[in-house]
Chain A
Amino acid sequence: MSENVRQPYNESKKMEIFDREFLPHIRSMYNFAYRLTFDEDDANDLVQETYMKAFRFINSFQEGTNAKAWLFRILKNSFINDFRKKSKEPAKVDYQEVETFYNSDDVDEHITTDLRVETVQDMIGDEVSNALNSLAIDFRTVIILCDLEGFTYEEMAKILDIPIGTVRSRLHRARNLLKDKLKEYANSMGYR
């Protein structure tokens, strides 16, 4: 964090960076928090906590660099380290195990090739949201970061503290799982 030789910001500079670089991302941050916690109050608390931390550690933020990714990383870490312990979110799944399972060769592609483009396009928001929300949190997270927030794989690797290769394989698995869920919805609604 302190490899850059840089003067710490003074108080008015801190406020300026906070207002200009951090606050504009608050809606994305709140929506990310909500999609992790599924609870408005928890999301509200998580965002407040994240912004307080961002301010406290503002000297390790370099002006003009990617504030959104920096903030998302703090939010994700706050959620994992502090928040999930307090909330009612069910016990943590062993993602390593899940990932190993899904990375094994027997599970792959074309499981859901019978899902039709028109079927997907006809789905309503609730169906799509429910399918996404039903995914385990690590899989849900990569789809949120990539598809909803538009982060690059490299940015996602930094936010999640994992190698790019893992980002890509996790995204691949997440998308296959999402397709399975969409297919289940389609079947239950009698779509073909």
Chain B
Amino acid sequence: MLYLIIDGQASEDQIKEFSKHMKDCTPCYKHHELEQAIKQTLQAKIDNRPIPPGLIESIKTKIRETV
């Protein structure tokens, strides 16, 4: 259930249930914090490379040759 929450795929009831549970359960609270931090760190710190110049043009040229 933790991953459903972290990944934004839990239902409202599941979110409520888990939030309530976390208040009393330190291991779950900490696990949630860590998993969320890892996900956010991946998203924030792994750069997206720009596409190489000419890639789109080269694809379009090849496609024009096939039609």
Contacts and interface: CB of A to CB of B under 8 A. Distances in A.
Please tell me the size bucket of the interface on B: 20 to 34
A52 B59 contact: yes
A136 interface: no
Interface stretch (A65-73, A80-88, A94-102, A171-179): A171-179
Main secondary structure of the interface of A (DSSP, over half): helix
| Most interface-central of B42, B43, B48 (chain A CB within 10 A) | B42
Contacts of A28: 48
A30 B52 CA distance: 9
A47 B46 contact: no
A121 B43 CA distance: 11
Contacts of A59: none
B11 interface: no
A148 B43 CA distance: 6
Interface residues of A, number: 44
A153 B7 contact: yes
Nearest to A19: B60
Contacts of B55: 26, 30, 44, 47-48
B42 A143 contact: yes
Interface of A: 11, 14-15, 18, 23, 26-28, 30-31, 34, 40, 44, 47-48, 51-52, 55-56, 113, 115-117, 120-121, 123-125, 128-129, 132, 143, 146-148, 152-153, 168, 171-172, 175, 178-179, 182
8 contacts: A31-B48, A47-B59, A48-B55, A55-B66, A117-B37, A124-B45, A147-B43, A168-B3
